Amino acid sequence: MVSSQFPIFNDTNVININRAPRALSLLSPHFQFIHPWRTYQQRFLTEFNTHLEDNHLHVVAPPGSGKTVLGLEMVQRLNKKTLILSPTLTIRNQWRERMSDFSVAGSEVSISFNIKQPATLTFSTYQSLHSYYKNDLEFSSEKLVAYFKQEGIGTLVLDEAHHLKNEWWKPLFALKQLPNCTLIALTATPPYDSEQNEIRKYFDLCGPVDMEIGVPELVREGNLCPHQDYIYFSEPEAAQIQFILTYREKLMTFVTNLKSNEAFINFVKRHPFYAETEKNLEAIYHEPERFSALLIYLNAAGVEIDKTKTEFLGIDSKKVRFPSLSYEWVTILLNYFLIENRDLYIEEEELLQPIEKDLRKIGAFEQKKINLVGERSLYRKLAQSPSKLKSIVEIVKVESSQLSENLRMVVLTDFIRKEFLDVKFGESITEINKIGVVPIFQYVRNAIKKEAGFPLKIEKLAVLTGSLVIVHNTIVKDLSKVLSAENFRQEILWETEYVLIKPNVAGSKDIVNAMTQLFEAGTIEVLIGTKALLGEGWDAPALNTLILASFVGSFVMSNQMRGRAIRVNRLKPNKVANIWHIACVDPTSEMGGADVALLLRRFDAFCGISLEDKPYVENGADRLNVLQDIKNVKALNSKMARLSAERTKIAQRWHEAIDGGQVLVRELKLSYKEQISYPVLKKLYFKDALTYVLVELSVLFSITLPELLLKNLTTLLSKGALYFMYALLLGFAMVLLPKTVKAVILYVKYGRRDKELRKIAMALKETMAEKGILTNHNVSLVVDQFKDGSLSCYLVGAKAKTEVQFVPYLQEIIDPVTNPRYLIVQSNWLRRKLGFSNYYSIPKIFGEHKNEARIFFKNWKRFNGNAKLVFTRNVDGRRLLLKARFHSYQDEHQIASKQSLIWK
């Protein structure tokens, strides 16, 4: 709804406000924000000129953080004609409304909602821009740029930039070519979960993030309420477990058969990469994964790999260890033959067709994609598991018992599933086999009717979607008070106490508002709806419990849906929100399976408070610590239910965590991929060889030696002390020597990982300072170690923009080598003799030009010692690049890196 201070405008209006002699397109000292800036807003504005250096202003902030007024302030400071684009008309109009927070007295501001009649401020939508680009300009980027250049547009604002669709990219990139154009991008969640090329396009358009406004700051300032995420786990039913077991058995059988398929083995051996390796080195260097997949498959099939195949890479054939033939390698191998280059192997159809047919039978070949890694068939089964419906019922029961009439719960899901509307009470509930609005409604309704003492009253349950509204028959009179009875009719839902509400055209405009009022007042306590209607933009401050029953969508949508629950309620200042996520555990997987994995990845999109122990605020699912007990579903759910009742304690934990920090820090977190206990990790990585040997000796002489003396006292007395001492020393040598050698080798190869990380990060920090990227003089580098053996690295005292750049640059260096332009080989005489070298990529930003790569390498040697800089775009460099990549495949002690946000 547009503020009453201003009239409502259509797309053809060009208007003036408070007619006065000066316009915003000149200088506008009177167009000023009339309220105090929040702390984080002021921090951004203080560094405004620094953020503006690359002509991009990119702000990430959750709903309710004041992005729009901050955007208007940026526009005012830039003082140029501006085009502001939004994804919907509602959001477009909100920009106009927010102008009421600015003083325009004594200033004339011309405004337009029509992209064909630009004014000082033009509010429009991405759809309108694309329509104009398509229909009026016939997809001509040159005409588009010429038009807006003629109109004098100098600032482009992209609101809710995470909404950008494929067809919108081209005109937006074209508009960046406007002379001296400044681009402002505002978003709640960058599309981090999109394909890599989509992520790259997003940041190429919007520029690097200048500031990320964190949830902790908003909670501290009272703009968001304290809240906690919980996961309620379920287990698949017997039929689903059998499906999973059968699926895995079929996959194993397929790979086993592939390894014994003599015809396919001979076919692979005839591939030029293997048959004529030396002649095809250049092609191999361009497709290193392909060559690796060929070798790994043949090795797994029992083929003795000719030593020249690896020696061409500079790898000693005696020391090479081929990785196991994982599903990842099978996928790379078969993608090449069955999809990417199928037309080259027409004569081999008799061989390839049966392999494709077997994959299709399993469900691993769909839409011209081979998918063994993602287990899409398994995910669909788990994501749609009816056991999740039972989980929702249990959550409703838990929360209703805790909050009683104060409960304001919303359940959001993807589909309506109207086909289940006529499910009868009782046994027929088992016919429901999909998640959706109606299935959830039927399950909860059935539980209320069936279970004596169910805490939620039946009349407190309702449904609200764009095409389906259901309320209890006793609620109709309350609905009539907020929505005229003339604007809707009712229809009895067969064999129930509920009615379907059928609004007319006039009623359709107000039905959401009317149902929201009933929900806010407590007439309805549990509202089931779709994320499309209620997931973004819907505002109900009373909402204190949210169940996310959505399995379709992205990080962006997950974050937007959570945003509905964590808004403050001015009528209840002590509001604490619970957000429930549901997942079905695959009992055949050590890590919980595909459904759990997808849910945990989505946690990367938002920050929250840790569940237990010392409170801290961090993004990701580590703060819930569920993977250790993932097989014990009953115990996990019991813990979640118990902790969800402690809402007062949640608020206290937020305040304690917030008081313990000052700012949301972006850090690089390193953890170990292999499941090794922390004591072993500590021996391998955090203790040097000398310390390790001393510890072993102290244990031997303080515990083992006295024990041996007591047990062998008879032998000592009969054969003499000298004989016994020789035997004892020989035994100690046999025990100590292998462990000592292993410790020394590991230390020579890896060093102490915490010290190595610090030296690498220092080289990066100094290079960024030398190149003028890092401008603060009082920036310090911190490396933290944790009990589980993981590490984190971050900057303290850096500007937000620098901090956001530092972490991905460091990750680029640490991660396994892919295809950098320049490569660093870290070795020394002893490492070379033992056959060890470590390989690191020079970040792309420093690797585009030789001089900049040399600056980075100079700083690298300063902190890391002697090394070699290699240009990888010639034959020798490609060869070394392939060796580096193969080296990473063989490393059994790999680390996984992850960008994290944590309040410190």
Measured CA to CA, the distance from residue 696 to residue 359 in angstroms comes to 52
Do 288 and 167 belong to one domain?
no
pLDDT for residue 726 is more than 80: no
Confidence (pLDDT) at 319: 66
Do 64 and 193 belong to one domain?
yes
What is the CATH classification number for the domain harbouring 175? 3.40.50.300
Do 884 and 835 belong to one domain?
yes
pLDDT for residue 699 is more than 70: no
Confidence grade of residue 386 (pLDDT, cut at 50, 70, 90): confident
Measured CA to CA, the distance from residue 606 to residue 901 in angstroms comes to 9
Other residues' Cβ atoms within 10 Å of the Cβ of residue 307: 13
Measured CA to CA, the distance from residue 271 to residue 279 in angstroms comes to 12
Residue 412 per-residue DSSP state: E
Of 91-95, 500-504, 763-767, the least confident: 91-95
Q: What is the pLDDT of residues 603-615, one digit of tens each?
A: 888 899 999 999 9
Query: Is residue 40 included in any domain, yes or no?
Result: yes
Residue 817 per-residue DSSP state: P
Confidence (pLDDT) at 713: 56
Q: How many domains does the chain have?
A: 4
Do 828 and 872 belong to one domain?
yes
Query: Is residue 550 included in any domain, yes or no?
Result: no
Do 256 and 167 belong to one domain?
no
Do 739 and 778 belong to one domain?
no
Last residue of a domain, one of 381, 406, 435: 381
Confidence (pLDDT) at 751: 47
Q: Name residue, tokens 């490609």.
A: 878
Measured CA to CA, the distance from residue 576 to residue 647 in angstroms comes to 6
Last residue of a domain, one of 381, 409, 439: 381
Query: Is residue 546 included in any domain, yes or no?
Result: no
Measured CA to CA, the distance from residue 132 to residue 555 in angstroms comes to 31
Do 269 and 326 belong to one domain?
yes
Last residue of a domain, one of 179, 213, 247: 213
> Using CA atoms in the order 177, 179, 180, 183, what is the torsion angle rounded to 10 degrees?
-30
How is residue 332 written in tokens? Answer: 């790379």
Other residues' Cβ atoms within 10 Å of the Cβ of residue 411: 25
pLDDT for residue 121 is more than 50: yes
pTM over 0.85: no
Confidence grade of residue 66 (pLDDT, cut at 50, 70, 90): confident
Instruction: Supply the range of the domain harboring residue 208.
Output: 14-213
Strand partners of residue 667: 900
Query: Is residue 882 included in any domain, yes or no?
Result: yes
Do 66 and 192 belong to one domain?
yes
Query: Is residue 875 included in any domain, yes or no?
Result: yes
Do 762 and 745 belong to one domain?
no
Which among 595, 626, 598, 586 has a CA at the least distance from the CA of 610? 626
In percent, the amount of the chain with pLDDT more than 90 equals 49
Q: How far is C-alpha 571 from the chain's CA centre?
A: 34
Q: What is the pLDDT of residues 29-52, one digit of tens each?
A: 667 888 899 888 998 999 899 889
Do 776 and 714 belong to one domain?
no
> Would you report the helix, strand and coil content of the chain in percent, each value rounded to 5?
50, 15, 30
Do 775 and 857 belong to one domain?
yes
Confidence (pLDDT) at 22: 38
Beta-sheet pairing, 791-796 with 780-785:
antiparallel
Query: Is residue 816 included in any domain, yes or no?
Result: yes
How is residue 583 written in tokens? Answer: 């997942």
Do 745 and 768 belong to one domain?
no
Query: Is residue 32 included in any domain, yes or no?
Result: yes
Q: Name residue, tokens 């560094």.
A: 47
Q: What is the pLDDT of residues 397-449, one digit of tens each?
A: 999 999 999 999 999 999 999 999 988 766 678 788 889 999 999 999 999 99
Query: Is residue 105 included in any domain, yes or no?
Result: yes
Q: What integer best gives the mean pLDDT of the chain?
A: 83
Measured CA to CA, the distance from residue 186 to residue 237 in angstroms comes to 44
> Using CA atoms in the order 327, 329, 333, 335, what is the torsion angle rounded to 10 degrees?
60
Phi-psi category of 33—alpha, beta or left, where left has phi over 0 and alpha has psi -120 to 50? beta
Q: What is the pLDDT of residues 352-364, one digit of tens each?
A: 999 999 999 888 8
pLDDT for residue 271 is more than 80: yes
